[in-house]
């Protein structure tokens, strides 16, 4: 059985089917203003301007199957509603991930397909991270591969939901509040998701850079580097992405053992405020509270003060006790073995 934080309904009432049908019809309605991604497509290859696999809020559709390739990441960046609807099946490869950045909320993400939905297994180190985000509505059936953890809902009235050692959690998202950026200034903020993990687990670190100028802000010669506190490190598979711009090597996120950086020349769009994000997976081997404060953001515009720190809580993993025998049980076992040995010796002597 999966570990579920919400409700598990084995035999749902008829009204649930009607409600699911209404939701499905709304999602699949041709009146939805969707960006057509063409025929069968791998979402991790789609580049809408922020890099391959990075999607802003919106509706996205295909005329064929929709998939995410083996060991790749799709990032949903920005607060708003995300709808992915496939005219075929929805399939994710093993060890692929869908992650959130820039205020995106799992409660606002929806997936639906004409064919069945299959989430690939997670084969990395345990405990497994969240590998997929959003509400899946698919009456053709939903299959979650081994340790494919879902932050969302799996709704398949009339079909089946097949699980295998999965954790399913109902998303709870605090309202996204962009950093308070005075007029004419730039600023940075950061968040961990989830904010609490087990030792050895993975949290997604998202850094938001904001620019309250009408024009683009450009990072100074020193670039921008966030150094993590001692004990908190970049995960073995960083899944590092950025929606910030610039001509390479600007606009490219790089990671060290315990740091994430953007090079000089990276740009932050203008607006009120304009924003871009940097996201990377982090982990810690030891339990504790890890507070990280970003440095001041230096650009060709006016800088604001360094933001307050945010904290990631890491919990100790309780080891299962090794079963042992009591003193009397050991004496009894020794006596039994001695009797068996004596009987065997007598049998050989005959």
pLDDT tens readout for residues 285-303: 998 889 988 887 888 877 6
Q: In terms of pLDDT, which residue wins out, 329 or 12? A: 12
**Range picked from 40-54, 267-281, 308-322 for highest mean pLDDT:** 40-54
pLDDT in tens, 205-240: 888 888 888 888 888 888 888 999 999 999 998 888
| Mean pLDDT value across residues 175-182 | 54
Beta bridge partners of 277: 208
Q: Would you call the peptide bond into 127 cis, given omega within 30 degrees of 0 as the criterion?
A: yes
Check residue 25 and give its pLDDT.
78
Check residue 252 and give its pLDDT.
74
Distance of CA 51 to the CA centre of its chain: 18
Q: In terms of pLDDT, which residue wins out, 305 or 92? A: 92
pTM: 0.53
pLDDT for residue 276 is more than 50: yes
Check residue 174 and give its pLDDT.
60
Check residue 328 and give its pLDDT.
57
Q: What is the DSSP string of 142-179?
A: EEE-TT-EEEEEEE-TTS-EE-SS-EEE----PPP---
Check residue 340 and give its pLDDT.
65
Mean of all residue pLDDT scores within the chain:
81
Q: What is the DSSP string of 265-306?
A: T-EE--STTEEEEEEEEEEESS-EEEEE-PPP--BSSEEPPP
Q: Which of 50-54, 151-155, 339-343 has the lowest mean pLDDT?
A: 339-343
Check residue 144 and give its pLDDT.
95
pLDDT for residue 46 is more than 60: yes
pLDDT for residue 322 is more than 50: no
Mention every residue, 6+ apart, whose C-beta is less than 8 A from residue 68. 42, 43, 44, 74, 91, 92, 93, 96, 98
Domains of the chain as residue ranges with CATH: 3-169 (no CATH), 185-315 (2.60.40.1510)
The CB-side HSE value for 208 (13 A sphere, CA atoms) comes to 26
Beta bridge partners of 279: 206, 241
Token pair, residue 107, equals 């409660």
Q: What are the strands, taking DSSP E only, across 41-166?
A: 41-42, 54-55, 58-62, 66-68, 73-77, 82-86, 90-92, 97-101, 109-113, 117-119, 130-137, 142-144, 149-155, 161-162
Token pair, residue 104, equals 């995106």
Q: How would you label 264-273 residue by residue, b for 16+ Cβ within 10 Å and e otherwise?
A: ebbbbbeeeb
pLDDT for residue 118 is more than 70: yes
Check residue 136 and give its pLDDT.
94
Q: In terms of pLDDT, which residue wins out, 318 or 192? A: 192
pLDDT for residue 138 is more than 70: yes
Check residue 147 and give its pLDDT.
93
pLDDT for residue 117 is more than 60: yes
The answer to whether the beta carbons of residues 202 and 232 sit under 8 Å apart is: no
| Mean pLDDT value across residues 168-180 | 67
Beta bridge partners of 191: 206
Check residue 43 and give its pLDDT.
95
Sign of the dihedral through C-alpha 58, 64, 66, 70: negative
Q: Pick from 302, 103, 307: which is nearest to 213 by CA?
A: 302
């Amino acid at each position: 059985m999966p570990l579920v934080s919400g409700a598990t309904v084995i035999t749902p009432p008829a009204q649930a089917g009607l409600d699911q049908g209404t939701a499905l019809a709304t999602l699949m309605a041709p009146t939805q203003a969707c960006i057509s991604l063409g025929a069968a497509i791998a979402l991790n290859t789609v580049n809408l301007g922020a890099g391959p696999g990075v999607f802003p809020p919106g509706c996205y559709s295909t005329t064929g199957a929709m998939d995410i390739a083996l060991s790749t990441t799709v990032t949903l960046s920005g607060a708003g509603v995300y709808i992915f609807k496939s005219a075929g099946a929805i399939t994710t490869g093993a060890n692929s991930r869908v992650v959130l950045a820039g205020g995106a909320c799992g409660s606002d993400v929806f997936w639906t397909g004409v064919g069945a939905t299959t989430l690939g297994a997670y084969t990395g180190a345990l405990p497994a991270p969240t590998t997929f985000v959003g509400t899946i509505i698919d009456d053709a059936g939903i299959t979650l591969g081994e340790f494919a953890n879902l932050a969302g809902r799996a709704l398949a009235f009339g079909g089946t939901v097949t699980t295998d050692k999965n954790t399913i959690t109902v998303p709870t998202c605090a309202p996204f509040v962009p950093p308070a950026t005075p007029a004419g200034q730039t600023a940075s903020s950061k968040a961990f998701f989830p904010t609490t993990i087990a030792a050895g687990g993975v949290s997604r670190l998202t850094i938001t850079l904001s620019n309250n100028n009408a024009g683009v802000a450009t990072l100074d010669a020193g670039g921008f580097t966030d150094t993590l506190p001692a004990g908190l490190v970049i995960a073995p598979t960083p899944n590092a992405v950025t929606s910030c711009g610039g001509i390479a090597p600007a606009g490219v996120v790089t990671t060290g053992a315990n740091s994430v950086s953007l090079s000089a020349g990276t740009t932050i769009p203008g607006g009120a405020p304009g924003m871009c994000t940097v996201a990377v997976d982090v982990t810690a081997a030891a339990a504790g509270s890890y507070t990280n404060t970003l440095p001041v953001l230096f650009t060709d515009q006016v800088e604001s003060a360094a933001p307050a720190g945010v904290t990631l809580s890491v919990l100790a993993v309780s080891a299962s006790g090794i079963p042992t025998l009591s003193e009397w049980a050991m004496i009894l076992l020794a006596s039994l073995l001695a009797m068996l040995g004596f009987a065997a010796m007598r049998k050989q002597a005959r």
